[in-house]
């Protein structure tokens, strides 16, 4: 609905009482008069009018309508007028309801630590009727400490996002109908920390930023099958280590040598990857759901070993998938998770990580 249509509806909503009073009631009243007269007849004026109609119809149409026929025509015309009045009344009611209908809350979580990227243009989102929503934003801006390709103070970044649940609740507590969307372009450990904090407390819709079109695309369920597009490899070592490793290869492969620079002894090394590794490979919710289930299954298999205290996560993939995977982890019942950040120019490549446990998250520098 454009601004012109919205303005017209607003005018109609304001004018509806007098319109209904003078037009709708007039139609119904005249209709009733026609029907009454057509069935009974009640004055010499009407009778004279009918005779005139009879004479004129014979002159113009060449047809000699009887008074009885004209009476029945009046009955039909009266019924049509009454129906027109009722339909017009219902139309005004519908317009009024649509205009006064409470808007659905659309809460955007805008999470950025790498680029001060373009905010979503809500009017350009796919299948999004902006006039039906009340849009509110929670902006987590950590770009001020991102300089020269590095996040200079990762500890401060965690502070900016630790109150996300209270911020969401502050908006949603007053609405029974709401939708939450995640728009993110942030460092992988920060995304995982935010996702684990929100967990499954709220339903979230995922949007991916397309740099080629400079627009946000909502991930939706696709009819295309996603069967057999995931490979899972697991290596178990005869080691008493308390560490396990999960590496997730979606956008590019992760070198074991670079992992071993920051994680020494480990008992399990699980690799989850798609068969065709590359950028922009995740395009639907089907794929995210399949990978999320696969990841959670891998975690459950590892924690069957009660000796495991730390699960180290090495991830290469889109933001939406990282956020979805992290939401399936529990700070209360799962072991510690250590999520690593990759920087090509750093030595080692995984220079820092976030350790997430039952306590507050902490930064680990390597």
| DSSP result, 210-223 | ETTTTEEEE----S
Structure confidence by residue, pLDDT tens digits, 44-100: 455 556 566 555 555 555 555 555 665 666 667 767 777 877 787 777 677 666 656
Q: What is the pLDDT of residues 101-117, one digit of tens each?
A: 678 899 999 999 887 77
* Preceding omega of 155 cis (within 30 degrees of 0): no
Q: For 139-192, how does the pLDDT look when each residue is reduced to its tens digit (9 = 90+)?
A: 998 888 877 667 778 888 888 898 999 999 999 998 888 999 999 999 999 999
* Rounded Cα distance, 353 and 187, in Å: 10
Is residue 200 exposed (0-12), middle (13-18) or buried (19+ Cβ within 10 Å)? exposed
The residue count of the chain comes to 366
More confident site: 200 or 226 = 200
The residue that leads in pLDDT, 20 or 243, is 243
Instruction: Tell me the pLDDT band of 43, cut-offs 50, 70 and 90.
Output: very low
Does position 42 have pLDDT exceeding 70, yes or no?
Answer: no
Share of the chain above pLDDT 90, in %: 42
pLDDT of residue 8: 61
pLDDT at 300 over 90: yes
Bridge pairing between strands 150-151 and 268-274: unpaired
Delimit the domains of the chain by residue range.
3-100, 104-365
Could you read off the pLDDT of 304-329 as tens digits, one per residue? Answer: 998 999 999 999 999 999 999 999 99
> Which residue in 323, 324, 341, 334 sits closest to 356, CA to CA?
334
**pLDDT at 212 (0 to 100):** 81
pLDDT value of residue 44? 44
Closest CA to 138 of 79, 72, 182, 195: 182
Going through the chain in order, the beta strands assigned E by DSSP cover: 104-112, 133-141, 146-147, 150-151, 178-185, 205-210, 215-218, 230-236, 243-249, 268-274, 310-316, 336-341, 352-356, 362-365
How does the average pLDDT of the chain come out, rounded? 82
Sign (positive or negative) of CA dihedral 22, 27, 33, 34: positive
pTM: 0.73
d(CA 269, CA 308): 12
pLDDT tens digit sequence for 268-286: 999 999 988 998 888 899 9
Torsion of CA 299, 302, 307, 311, to 10 degrees: -50
Where does the pLDDT of residue 9 fall: very low under 50, low under 70, confident under 90, or very high at 90 and above? low
* 356 confidence band (pLDDT: 50, 70, 90): very high
């Amino acid at each position: 609905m454009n601004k012109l249509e919205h303005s017209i509806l607003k005018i109609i909503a304001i004018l509806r009482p007098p319109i209904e009073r003078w037009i709708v009631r007039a139609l119904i009243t005249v209709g009733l008069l026609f029907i009454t007269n057509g069935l009974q007849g009640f004055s010499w004026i009407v009778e004279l009018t009918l005779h005139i109609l009879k004479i004129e119809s014979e002159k113009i149409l060449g047809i000699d309508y009887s008074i009885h026929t004209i009476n029945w025509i009046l009955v039909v015309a009266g019924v049509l007028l009454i129906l027109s009045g009722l339909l017009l009344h219902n139309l005004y009611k519908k317009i009024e309801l649509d205009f006064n209908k409470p808007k659905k809350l659309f809460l955007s979580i805008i999470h950025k630590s790498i680029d001060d990227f373009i905010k979503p243009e809500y009017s350009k989102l796919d299948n999004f009727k902006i006039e039906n929503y009340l849009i509110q934003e929670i902006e987590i801006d950590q770009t001020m400490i991102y300089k020269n390709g590095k996040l200079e103070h990762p500890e401060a970044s965690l502070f900016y996002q630790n109150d996300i649940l209270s911020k969401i609740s502050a908006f949603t507590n007053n609405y029974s109908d709401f939708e939450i969307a995640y728009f993110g372009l942030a460092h992988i450990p920060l995304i995982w920390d935010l996702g684990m904090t929100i967990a499954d407390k709220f339903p979230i819709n995922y949007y991916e930023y397309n740099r080629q079109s400079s627009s946000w695309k909502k991930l939706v369920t696709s009819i295309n099958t996603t069967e057999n597009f995931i490979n899972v490899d697991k290596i178990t070592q005869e080691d008493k280590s308390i560490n396990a490793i999960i590496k997730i290869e979606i956008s590019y492969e992760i070198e074991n040598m670079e992992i071993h620079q920051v994680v020494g002894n480990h008992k399990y090394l699980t690799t989850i990857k798609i068969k065709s590794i590359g950028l922009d490979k995740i395009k639907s919710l089907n794929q995210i759901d399949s990978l999320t289930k696969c990841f959670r299954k891998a975690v459950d298999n590892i924690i069957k070993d009660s000796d495991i205290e730390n699960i180290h996560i090495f991830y290469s993939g889109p933001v939406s998938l990282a956020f979805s995977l992290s939401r399936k982890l529990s700070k209360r019942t799962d072991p510690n998770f250590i999520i690593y950040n990759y920087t090509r120019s750093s030595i080692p490549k995984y220079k820092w990580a976030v350790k997430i446990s039952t306590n507050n998250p902490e930064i680990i520098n390597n």
